[in-house]
């Protein structure tokens, strides 16, 4: 009954008790990171269809990546168009 009336206290105690364990769980040595990378690479090599799923999920959660890619593409197309126009103008002048 006490915990139901004081949910903020329960949350505070929970966070206080679990935070150190969570921070320790996230720390890996360089060797462990290398091994995890090899395991992930082997998995995606064996299951290439999962790579597409992982990328789709990432892009759904990070639309800013698509926005930046779109802007880069627009700028590249604009630069290519400008260069083509300059080349055509130079060719006309040479005639």
Torsion of CA 29, 32, 36, 38, to 10 degrees: 120
* pLDDT tens, per residue, the chain with 95 residues: 444 555 555 556 556 666 665 555 578 999 999 999 999 999 999 999 999 999 999 999 999 999 999 999 999 999 999 999 999 999 989 88
Residue 89: other Cβ atoms inside 10 A = 10
In 3D space, the residue among 18, 39, 17, 14 whose CA is nearest the CA of residue 28 turns out to be 39
Q: Are 10 and 17 in contact (CB under 8 A)?
A: no
Domain boundaries, the chain: 32-61, 63-95
pLDDT for 2 = 46
What is the C-alpha to C-alpha distance for residues 12 and 40, in angstroms, rounded to an integer?
36
| pLDDT for position 72 | 96
């Amino acid at each position: 009954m006490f915990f139901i009336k004081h949910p903020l206290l329960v949350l505070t105690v929970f966070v206080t008790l679990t935070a150190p364990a969570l921070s320790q769980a996230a720390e890996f040595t360089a060797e462990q990171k290398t091994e995890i990378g090899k395991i992930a690479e082997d998995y995606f090599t064996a299951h290439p269809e999962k790579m597409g799923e992982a990328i789709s999920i990432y892009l759904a959660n990070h639309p800013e990546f698509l926005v930046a890619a779109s802007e880069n593409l627009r700028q590249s197309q604009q630069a290519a168009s400008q260069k083509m126009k300059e080349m055509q103008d130079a060719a006309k002048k040479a005639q």
